Amino acid sequence: MPPNLERVSILPMGDEIQQRWFDKWQTIVAEEETEKFREFLHSEQCPEQVQELAREPLLLYLLAAMHRDKQLKVEMFANADVGGAKVSVYEQALEWVLEKQRVEEGKNLNPEITKLEPEDLEILLAEAGLCVVQSGGEYAAIKMIEDRLLKQGYKELQALIEKARQDEREDGLKNALAAFYLKSAAKAENSVEFFHKSFGEFLCAKRMVEGLEDLTEKTGKRRKTYVVSDEELEWQVYDLFGYRNLTAEVVEYLMALLVKSQVELVVLFERLHGFYVDWSDGKFIEEREEVLPQKKTRQLWQWGIESGQRRVDIYTGLNVMILLFELHRYGRSHEELQEQLHFYPCGKPGGEDFDRTRLLQIIGYSQCLGNGTFVEKIGKFLKDADLSCAYLYNADLNGANLICVNLRGADLIRANLSGVDLRGANLSNANLRGTDLFSADLSYSKLNDADLSSANLSWVNLFNANLNGVDLSNITWDNQTNWSNATGLHEAREVPEDLQQNPEFAAAVAQSEAAIQQQQ
């Protein structure tokens, strides 16, 4: 690498470069096998996500070798979604790396090289994935990986680590990790990084899922007692999620692995929801005895990771919210789980734990890390969320994904929703007085009986929106405001005179009236 560069990004292979790679692969495995692999990648049954992975130089070899060894088949991806397809590839890749990559005369050589059995190596790699992500996504200190494994009590790994430390050697785990697509980090002494970032993210998600599975296990004759107590759960959640925010990639792998693991999602949801309510009430940051955010902060400090207990507390809570939003979205697509996995950030309206200001308080708390932190970290995960009756006065939601969000009866007075994607959102009976909706997409949304008085509707797309009974007094609008196909527009209230004279608006009103007459 040129001395003036710290890191480089490897671009996906184009067709020409990929073909040159196939030509070279053909000299190793023969023409017939190469052609079969090429046919596999171009098959209609091969998911687009796998085809994309095959354009990444560091993964193409893995995929080709797995296909050669009959570990990669079209049948693996039957009924798999986006995340599921990638997870299937990485799971097979992990198995191949652990058991097939180094075979001589039918014998797996990895145990001889690493002094560890495949199951211990898998534990080691998953922990390394978590450590790299918690350290910032680039590399992790060997000591961090060792310390975490020692506390978890894996005997074979403990023996390897302790022997290396007794001999004053730093290469105990490093040698084992070096065999599995990790290398010494150039930026930090005695640290490792993954050759392929997404493989590390998959391993991190795998480690997180293992931790989440533990939270659902029960013991006792009637299996009513959790193996992990509430107090232990609270620390485990901080330990797993008390760092920056979960990325979309890690969440994608995590959810696919959770579903595939057949973990009791309802139990997991209930336990995480209990943590969320306590966190939003400030229980953990205000604890007098053991302050968990402080404990996690000190843990990170000892491994050279800068943080603070307020930062740890905020990120932990936001990451748990992301998991709850994802479980909620999964539940929406499975009728038998819709009610049990329904996440109300403010509590169910009318219920005992309902607090309409809770979400606004969380947004405000997140601001401690900088303006717009909530939307920056959570905004992309809000699709399909239920924010009904939430009090969001003056909230800045610019940049959030609010597609199909339920904001029925919500108070959004003077909120910033400019440029927000609200397609299919339910805003019926919502209070949007003075709200900035400039350039927002409200197509197919429900705005019936909403109060839009004094709102900014310039450049807003209201195509096919339900505007029955909406209050349009004193709104700001322009010729780019799209009223076409809006239903119930003829029933809108307090329409400004100049808007009534607008040809496009008048045509939309006439169309709305005609549609009603046609239905009758």
List, for residues 37-66, the tens digit of each pLDDT value.
888 888 888 888 888 888 887 778 888 888
pLDDT for 505 beyond 80: yes
**DSSP string for residues in 364-431:** HHHGGG-TTHHHHHHGGG-TT-B-TT-B-TT-B-TT-B-TT-B-TT-B-TT-B-TT-B-TT-B-TT-B
Per-residue confidence (pLDDT) for residue 181, from 0 to 100: 54
Both tokens assigned to 102? 């180094």
Per-residue confidence (pLDDT) for residue 183, from 0 to 100: 59
Phi first, then psi: give them for residue 498, nearest 5 degrees: -65, -30
CA-nearest of 284, 313, 321, 283 to 297 is 313
3-class SS of residue 196: coil
Phi first, then psi: give them for residue 282, nearest 5 degrees: 80, 15
**DSSP string for residues in 274-328:** HHHHHHHTTTTTT-SS--HHHHHHHHHHHTT----HHHHHHHHHHHHHHHHHHHH
CA-nearest of 87, 64, 63, 66 to 77 is 87
Q: How many CA atoms lie within 13 A of 277 on its CB side?
A: 14
Both tokens assigned to 484? 């076409």
Q: What is the pLDDT of residues 462-476, one digit of tens each?
A: 999 999 999 999 999
Query: Is the distance from CB of 482 to CB of 488 less than 8 angstroms?
Result: no
Angle of helix 309-332 relative to helix 265-280, nearest 10 degrees? 140
More confident position, 424 or 51: 424
Q: What is the pLDDT of residues 374-389, one digit of tens each?
A: 999 999 999 999 999 9
Query: Is the distance from CB of 427 to CB of 450 less than 8 angstroms?
Result: yes
Per-residue confidence (pLDDT) for residue 99, from 0 to 100: 76
d(CA 437, CA 469): 19
Least confident of 84-98, 239-253, 360-374, 399-413: 84-98
Both tokens assigned to 296? 């996690």
Both tokens assigned to 168? 């004053």
pLDDT band of residue 165 (cuts 50, 70, 90) is: low
Residue 62 forms beta bridges with which residues? none
* Segments making up each domain of the chain, as ranges: 15-111
Phi first, then psi: give them for residue 424, nearest 5 degrees: 70, 10
d(CA 138, CA 118): 25
Per-residue confidence (pLDDT) for residue 132, from 0 to 100: 92
CA-nearest of 431, 469, 422 to 453 is 431
Both tokens assigned to 160? 């390897």
Claim: this prediction has a pTM higher than 0.85: yes
Phi first, then psi: give them for residue 103, nearest 5 degrees: -125, 135
**Triad 120, 104, 100: Cα angle to 5°:** 45
Q: How many CA atoms lie within 13 A of 330 on its CB side?
A: 22
Query: Is the distance from CB of 43 to CB of 74 less than 8 angstroms?
Result: yes
Query: Is the distance from CB of 116 to CB of 157 less than 8 angstroms?
Result: yes
Both tokens assigned to 69? 């060894």
pLDDT for 160 beyond 60: yes
Average pLDDT over residues 85-114: 74
Both tokens assigned to 460? 């807003």
More confident position, 244 or 168: 244
Average pLDDT over residues 412-430: 97
Query: Is the distance from CB of 404 to CB of 381 less than 8 angstroms?
Result: no
Both tokens assigned to 420? 């927000």
Query: Is the distance from CB of 30 to CB of 72 less than 8 angstroms?
Result: no
Per-residue confidence (pLDDT) for residue 95, from 0 to 100: 81
Mean pLDDT of the chain: 88
Per-residue confidence (pLDDT) for residue 176, from 0 to 100: 59
CA-nearest of 75, 18, 80, 95 to 52 is 18
Q: Could you tell me the CA-to-CA distances from 41 to 55, 84, 90 in Å, in that order?
A: 10, 17, 16
